Amino acid sequence: MVFSSSSESKSPKRVTSFNGIINIDGVLNESGWKTALKVPLNYEIDPGENITPPVKTTGLIMYGKNSLYVAFIAQDPNPEHIRAHYSKRDEIWNDDTIGIGIDTFNSGNRSFYFASNVLGVQGDEIFSNGGNRSDDSWDAIWKSAAKRNKNGFVLEFEIPFNAIQFDRSAGELTWGFMLFRNYPRNKRHQISSIKVDRGQSCWLCQYDKITGFNGIKPGKNMELDPTLTAFRTDSREDFPSGNMSKEASSVDIGMSGKWGITSNLNLSFAVNPDFSQIEADASQLDINTRFALYYDEKRPFFLEGNDFFNSDINVIYTRSIADPEWGVKISGKEKKHTIGMFLTHDRNTNLLLPGSQYSDQTSIDSGVYSNAFRYKFDIGKNSTIGLIATDREGENYFNRVFGIDGLIRITKNDTLEFQFLSSSTKYPDEIIKDYDQEDGTLSGHAIKVGYRHSERNWSYRADLKKFSENFRADLGFVPQVDYYKITTGGEYTFFGKKDSFFSRLGIGGDIDQTKDSSGKLIERELEVGLSGSGPMQSFLYISTGARRYVYDDIPYDQFFQAFFFRINPSKSLSFSLFLHHGDGIDYTHSRAGKVFSMTPYVKYNFGKHFSISIRQLYSSLNISTEQLYNASLSDIGLIYHFNKRMFIRGTIQYSHINRNELLYEDEINKITKGLFTQFLFSYKLNPRTVLFLGYSDIYDQNAKLNLLQRNRTLFLKIGYALVF
C-alpha cells in the first residue's frame, strides 16, 4: 500500500485575488494587502519541536493576473542584531531569511522555494524526492524587496506564474505551501507556518494547503537571451621557453531561450551559444587518487530543469559534455507525468573509463551527439516510478543506457528506492588499444536498492549496489564498476530541551562489504560516529572505524578517525575544520602508509559589502618513518558587493606538492607548484541579464622550480533576457 500523507485532511486556506498594481518595495500600502490571506508562522521546528518561536512573523498571500504576491511582517525585539550581507545568489542562509515553499502539483514530491534576506538578495531552489534532495542551481526571474523598521522588517515577493509550473485548469487549483523564517542568533531558529513531524521521512508531504488561483495562466511564457561573448588567450607555445603570444581569440553572438509550450512544459534551446563557465571550480587536490574527481555544473543551459534528470545512479552528468555547438531541451510536469529530454552536439568526446579499483579519463578529438530522456509518473500522492535513457553516438563509438527507477513510500516511516540499468557500449579502436578495453559491443548492468525506516528518535537503512564489469554510463558520472556493495546502518537521536547546551545529539554507525564480480573482497568496513548541534550554530561530528581493504591483491587492515567542526560565533565570522587520520595506501607502489588530511575554512564579513574566505587543503602520506609526500592547496577569495546586483571578486588558488624522490621507483618531480588567479566583475540585473568582465591566468613550475606564467585570458560576456 502506498502511503498518502494525513495532510490531505487539512482544510485548505483560500487565497484572495487582487487586480491592482503592486509595487515591490517593502511597503504594504496597496489595498490588496488588507484582504490578503493571513498566515501566522506559529511554530519553531528546529531546534525546538513545534514550540512557540522566539519572534512573531506573519505572512500575507494573494495573487493577480500574472503573479503570486507574498509579504512578510517580521518582528524582532533587537533589530540591530539582524544579520544581512550582500552576497551571491543562493548564499544567504547564514543571514536572517524568509521565504515560501510551493508544491504547485500538490504531490508531496517537488516544491519550488523562494527566499530573500533583508537586503533583497535572493535564494531559490527546487526540493524533490519528498524534500530529501535539493537543487539550488535553478534560478527564476522574480522580484523581492525589504524595508527595515524599528520593530523588525517587511519583505515583499512577486513571483510571476511563468517562473513556475502548475496544472492547467479553468477552475480552482490546490497547492501545497509552507512559509518559513530563518532566525540565526546563538542558535539557528527555523520557524514555520506548519507543524513538522520529525518521524516522517517526507516533509513536503506535511505542507499546508492553499486553494484558489481561478483561471491563472503563465502568459506567453517566452524568453529570448541573446549573448555576446569575446575572449583572447595568450600562451607560451613551448613552455617554459618562449614569450607570451596570442593563441586564440573570438567574438561570438549567440542566442538561447525558453518557450512555455504549456503552463508547465518548457522548451529550451541554444544556437551558437555561450556554454562557457565564468566562475572557477572549487579547488581539489589530485594526488594519490584512484578515481576521477567530480565538479559541479555551472553552465546556465544545463542548469535549466536540471532536477528533472536526477536519479540515484548518476547517469546524466552534463559536465561530460565539454564543448557543445548547440543544444535543445524539453522539461516539465503535466498532471502526474514528469518529463525531461535534451539533445546536444559536442565537438569533443570525453570518456570516463571505470574499473573496480581505479578509473581513467581521456578525450577523442571528434564530435558526438549526446541525448537524454527522463520520465517519472506519480503514484498516489507521494511515490514515483520512472524511466531513464541516454545515448551517445560518435564516429565508431556509441554508449546507450536504459533503466527504470522508483521511490515508494510504503508508510509515513518507510521508504523504498530502486534503480535498474543496462548499458551497451562500443569504443573506437584507439581506445580499445590504448586503455585495454574489450573489443566488440560491451553489455553491462547496474542495480541500486535502498530501504529506509525513520522514527522521531531513530532510523535504520539497508542498501545494495551492484555494477557489472562492462557497465558504462558515458553521459553520466560512474567512476567505479565491477563490484557489489551491501550496507546497513542506523542512528539514534537525542533532542535537547529549550535551554540545553546541545540541541541535538546523534549516535550511529554502519557496516558495509564490497566485493568484485568474481567474489573477491575489495572492502569490509565498520564505522561509528557521534554528532551534535550546539550554541553559536555549532555542529560537531566525530567518527572512527576499521576496515580490511584489498588493493592490487594485497590485503590491508586499516583503522581511521575523522573529525568535523563548524561554528558561526558571530554574524561576521564562519569557521569549519575537517581532519582525517589513519592507515592508508600508496596506490602507485601498492604499499601501506599513514595518511593525514586537514581542511580548515574561514569566512569573515567586513560589514555588509566586503568578505574574504580562505580554504586550505593539506594532505600527507608517510611510509614507515619517512614521508612520501605532502601536498597543500590554498584557495583565497575576496569579494566586494556594491549592491545585490554588482560585485568584483578576486580568486587565488595556489598548490604545492613536495615528494620524497628516494621513495619513488620512477623519476618524478620533487617539487610541483601551480598558481591560478582570476579577477571578475559581475553585474546581474537578473539571472540571465548579465555583464561579466574578467581576467584569469595560470602559472606552472618551470625547470628552475620557479612559477612562470603559462597562459592568460581576458573575457567578456553580455547577456540580456527578453521576457514576453
DSSP, residue by residue, 701-719 = E-TTS-EEEEEEEEEEEEE
Return the CATH number at 158. Answer: 2.60.40.1190
**At residue 468, what are phi and psi to the nearest 5 degrees?**
-75, 165
The reply to whether 573 falls in a domain is: yes
- Predicted confidence at residue 4, as pLDDT, reads 41
d(CA 108, CA 129) in angstroms, rounded, equals 8
Give the distance between the most distant pair of CA atoms in the chain. 80
**How big, in percent rounded to 5, are the helix, strand and coil portions of the chain?**
5, 60, 35
The reply to whether 280 falls in a domain is: no
d(CA 575, CA 570) in angstroms, rounded, equals 10
578 and 616 in a single domain? The answer is: no
d(CA 423, CA 402) in angstroms, rounded, equals 6
Category of 310 on φ-ψ map: left (φ > 0), alpha (ψ -120 to 50) or beta: beta
426 and 551 in a single domain? The answer is: no
- Predicted confidence at residue 1, as pLDDT, reads 36
Give the DSSP per-residue string, 68-95. Answer: EEEEEEEE-S-GGG-------TT--TTS
322 and 230 in a single domain? The answer is: no
d(CA 112, CA 105) in angstroms, rounded, equals 11
The reply to whether 492 falls in a domain is: no
d(CA 272, CA 325) in angstroms, rounded, equals 6
97 and 140 in a single domain? The answer is: yes
d(CA 431, CA 425) in angstroms, rounded, equals 12
458 and 316 in a single domain? The answer is: yes
182 and 225 in a single domain? The answer is: no
Q: Please say whether the beta carbons of 141 and 723 come within 8 A.
A: yes
The reply to whether 58 falls in a domain is: yes
Q: Give the chain's length.
A: 724
- Predicted confidence at residue 274, as pLDDT, reads 61
Domain that holds residue 625: 220-274+606-724
Nearest to 162 by CA among 70, 263, 64: 263
pLDDT tens by residue, 631-671: 999 999 999 999 999 999 999 999 999 999 999 998 888 99
Query: Which residues, in sequence order, are CB contacts of 691 under 8 Å at separation 6+?
Result: 681, 682, 683, 717, 718, 719
Where a domain ends, among 480, 496, 523?
Answer: 480
Report how far apart the first and last C-alpha atoms of the chain are (Å, whole number): 45
The reply to whether 166 falls in a domain is: yes
Where a domain ends, among 587, 620, 654?
Answer: 587
Please give the grid coordinates belonging to residue 159.
513571483
Q: What is the CA radius of gyration of the chain?
A: 27
565 and 453 in a single domain? The answer is: no
Domain count, the chain: 4
For residue 251, how many other CB atoms are within 10 A of its CB? 10
The reply to whether 489 falls in a domain is: no
The reply to whether 439 falls in a domain is: yes
Please give the grid coordinates belonging to residue 357.
579499483
- DSSP code for 197: -
509 and 438 in a single domain? The answer is: no
470 and 611 in a single domain? The answer is: no
SS3 433: helix
For residue 163, how many other CB atoms are within 10 A of its CB? 20
- The string over 35-55, giving b where at least 16 C-beta atoms fall within 10 Å of a residue's C-beta and e elsewhere, is ebbebebbbbbbbbbeeebeb
Q: Which secondary-structure segment (H or E) carries 62?
A: strand 57-63
For residue 78, how many other CB atoms are within 10 A of its CB? 9
Where a domain ends, among 587, 614, 643?
Answer: 587
What amino acid occupies position 223? E
Nearest to 180 by CA among 109, 106, 127, 218: 127
Q: Which secondary-structure segment (H or E) carries 303?
A: helix 300-303
Cα three-residue angle 533-535-537, rounded to 5 degrees: 65
Cα 694 from chain centre: 25
Please give the grid coordinates belonging to residue 347.
565537438
d(CA 394, CA 410) in angstroms, rounded, equals 43
Category of 334 on φ-ψ map: left (φ > 0), alpha (ψ -120 to 50) or beta: beta
306 and 330 in a single domain? The answer is: yes
Nearest to 294 by CA among 361, 249, 245: 361
254 and 196 in a single domain? The answer is: no
For residue 467, how many other CB atoms are within 10 A of its CB? 27
340 and 460 in a single domain? The answer is: yes
Residue in this structure with the C-alpha cell 524511466, named with its chain if needed: 387
Low-confidence ranges of the chain (pLDDT < 50): 1-9
The reply to whether 93 falls in a domain is: yes
